[in-house]
Structure 1
Amino acid sequence: MGSPLSPILADIVMDDLETHCLSLLGFAVPVYYRYVDDIFAIVPRANVDEINLIFNSYHPRLKFTHEIESDSCINFLNTNVIRSNGKILTNWYRKAMCSDRYINFYSSHPFKYKLNTIFNLVDHAILLSDDQFHGKNIDVVKQILLNNCFPTHIVNRYICKRLNFLKHRSSSILGDGEIDTDKPSYIALPFVEGLSDNVGRLLKNMGLTVVYNIPKKLNSLIKRGKDSLPISNRTEVVYKINCKNCSASYIGQTKRHLSTRVKEHCNNIKMHESNLSVISKHKLKFDHDFDWSAPDILHNEKHVRKREIAEMFFIKKFDNTINSQKDTENLNNIYDKLIKVV
């Protein structure tokens, strides 16, 4: 889940699954449609259990459930499929728990976004349904928009405009049968109410299509609910440990919990002389101790190589560090003067 490959892999598995399982059925399936893992099929009612059993036998970790039509109707994705007088009809389907909450007309968003809300709802109401349901569906669209504070004149005007577009959408094909392939040039601008629309009109006259982005999003206004981690539990950091008795300090980096790394520094003094760290040597030579309980976090970085560069940067930036020379050998001395003034 979450990987860009997930839809592709899911489709490969489902393609193999349906090819294998449909070949095992003792009858032909006259109608079979699939969208990712949602399947719509018309099969004899007596064979429903058989097809469910065969599909579930493909792999022990895959379990399919099925739903049978009720009153000659069944829901599939955003449509309600209706069996009527030997024909299949469809109607726009909305779940019972649908909140009908869309962008509010008075929100600080480009007018294009609000128009797209109208057009999107009209497209669902018309393109997913048979002609006999269009009138009722448009009434539902109007009510949804009014509940989201869209003015009546805006609703009526742009619903009519979209209906007219859908009615004549085939006219977008040129007279000679060729499709106009000229692609407009786009430019992205941050949306500032009262300013961006005027700038957009000027750019439109220059042949540019403006796409707006919203710089102030909800997550920048609402604080995160998680409590901040204690310093000792932080990971992927560059840290500094200070000597209690002089101005010396040690700078390091770790991907583990900082408390784990500090404990290793503290216990290093118990090791053989040949394996002593620079911290332990400083303690023995001057009879000093380090402030193990209050290390300073200088930088956070998940990427290992970037974290190592940050470690070398801070070693050179601070005076009186006791790190060995090899800790900074991969950072060229040409940067030394620049580091000191940053």
Structure 2
Amino acid sequence: MGKPTQQLSKDIKKLAMKVKPTTQLLIVPRPPPAIRQMFKNKDEIPKNLQSNIIYQVNCSSCPASYIGKTTRQACIRLQEHGAPTEIPAEHTNENLRRSARIAAMNANNNAQISYYESGSSEDDLPSTTHTSAIKRHITSTKHKIDWHNWTILDKDKHPYRLLVKESLAINEKSPTLNLTTRSVPFVVYPEGCVIKRTNHTTSQ
């Protein structure tokens, strides 16, 4: 607390004593701004290394697009879709080994809980049994995918909320490469997320 603040506190206390001598006034100065409000104190995670995201990939040759979700790093999921490798080999191998261990652990777990409906989102499922919709599009049309300008639509660390947000994004944007319209049923809003539009009237 600086000298001007101390002087102001004394003046306020004197004024309060004149108005009501029995008043006990406690001056609490406002804390200084946090460092994070002035500048970023953490390095921003590159887009390709982020996880627990809803992403959208567009085709460069046609209006086709795909919306998916992944709880792993985005670069791993995009490589399963057919994206070129853009991270160091040792980093890739490390993540693939970790993913393989998790897949093996889930396969041996008889009490595994799944949030998926039958025929729902194919993200984060083994690529050996589910062919990527983007790969099928590339194979059938010989089109090129815009792997550099894919976008993150939303994030959530909770698995079920991530599925709900994916379903809302699919319902809103209607991507042509998605085989399903939602990953989980909409219990509260069966029609998805409704966008409110305001009517602007002009007077002449």
The residue number in structure 1 matching 2:122 is none
Amino acid at match of 1:286: T
Q: Which has the higher contact order (CA 8 A, sep 6+)?
A: 2
CA drift of 1:218 comes to: 2.5
Quick one: distance in 2 between partners of 1:216 and 1:302? 31
Residues 154, 341 of structure 1: alpha-carbon distance in 2 compared, 3 angstrom cutoff: closer
Structure 2-normalised TM-score? 0.54
* Structure 2 CA distance for partners of 1:152 and 1:301, relative to 1, 3 Å: closer
1:263 to 2:79 alignment: yes
How far apart, in 2, do the equivalents of 1:213 and 1:254 lie? 46
Going from structure 1 to structure 2, the CA distance change for 1:153 and 1:328 (only over 3 Å counts) comes to: closer
Corresponding residue of 1:287: 142
Tell me how far apart the structure 2 counterparts of residues 310 and 329 of structure 1 sit (CA, whole Å).
Answer: 10
| Contact 1:241/1:251 (8 A) holds in 2 | yes
The alignment's C-alpha RMSD in Å is 3.8
- Note the alpha carbon deviations across 1:117-141, whole angstroms, 9 max, x for none: xxxxxxxxxxxxxxxxxxxxxxxxx
> Does structure 1 residue 311 correspond to structure 2 residue 166?
yes
Instruction: From the two aligned structures, give the one with the greater strand fraction.
Output: 1
Cα 1:226/1:338, change in 2 over 3 Å: same
| Cα-to-partner distance string for 1:148-188 (whole Å, 9 max, x where unaligned) | xx349949x89xxxxxxxxxxxxxxxxxxxxxxxxxxxxxx
What residue in structure 2 maps to residue 245 of structure 1? 61
Contact 1:316 1:339 in 2 (8 A): no
Deviation, structure 1 residue 213: 11
Match of 1:235 in 2: 51
Contact 2:133 2:178 in 1 (8 A): yes
Asked if the contact 1:315/1:321 (under 8 Å) is kept, the reply is no
Structure (1 or 2) with the greater helix fraction: 1
Give CA deviations for 1:182-203 in whole Å, capped at 9, x if unaligned. Answer: xxxxxxxxxxxxxxxxxxxxxx
SS for the counterpart of 2:176 is coil
Distance 1:154 1:304, change over 3 A: same
SS at match of 1:324: coil
Greater gyration radius: 1
What TM-score do you get using the length of structure 1 for normalisation?
0.34
Number of positions where the alignment pairs a residue of Structure 1 with one of Structure 2 = 141
Deviations 1:92-133 (A, max 9, x none): xxxxxxxxxxx34645xxxxxxxxxxxxxxxxxxxxxxxxxx
Question: Are residues 1:299 and 2:115 paired?
Answer: no
